[in-house]
Amino acid sequence: MGVIHRFTGDETAYDWEGVTDKAYQDGDVKGATKKILMGPAEESLNFRMRYFRLEPGGHSRLEQHPHEHGVFMLHGRALVRHGDEEVELGPRDVIFIPGNELHQLRTVGDAPMGFICVVPAH
């Protein structure tokens, strides 16, 4: 059966029914919240869809790994490092980050920043 999570959040802090926060303190991470919208609980076999919210001043870990990322910006503004480049992105912009590319997302400005990040399940 399909699994539905209804939106219950607001413009700066997205939330959904039946979705709980996951721990996201992986090394040098600051001011970040992670929610898994589609993953093992939904019996997704091929990919995972996660929501990340980064506070003003927050950032993800600068990381590099074999799996690719599909990022869809939802709210706020982000400074995204990918490889040797940096780019500022806003709502509804998308970036595909291939495997093994160094990357990091930082909040720009005074509003929290949030995005969807899709990854392979394995």
* First-residue to last-residue Cα distance in the chain: 22
Q: Nearest to residue 97, comparing CAs of 65, 70, 117, 79?
A: 70
d(CA 2, CA 83): 37
* 34 touches a second copy by CB under 8 A: no
State the number of CA atoms in the 13 A half-sphere of 34 facing the CB. Answer: 18
Q: Minimum distance from CB of 69 to a second copy (Å)?
A: 9
Candidate ranges 21-29, 53-61, 85-93, 105-113; the one touching a second copy (CB under 8 A): 85-93
Shortest CB 3 distance to a second copy, Å:
5
Cβ count within 10 A of residue 54: 24
| 22 is a contact residue toward a second copy (CB under 8 A) | no
Which position among 24, 30, 34, 44 is part of the footprint of a second copy (CB under 8 A)?
A: 44
30 is catalytic: no
Q: How far is the CB of 29 from a second copy (least distance, A)?
A: 20
Q: Which is nearer to a second copy, 18 or 57 (CB)?
A: 18
Distance from C-alpha of 8 to C-alpha of 106, rounded to nearest angstrom: 25
Question: Tokens in use for 42?
Answer: 């939904």
> Pick from 29, 37, 54, 78: which binds a second copy (CB under 8 A)?
37
Which residues form the catalytic set? 117
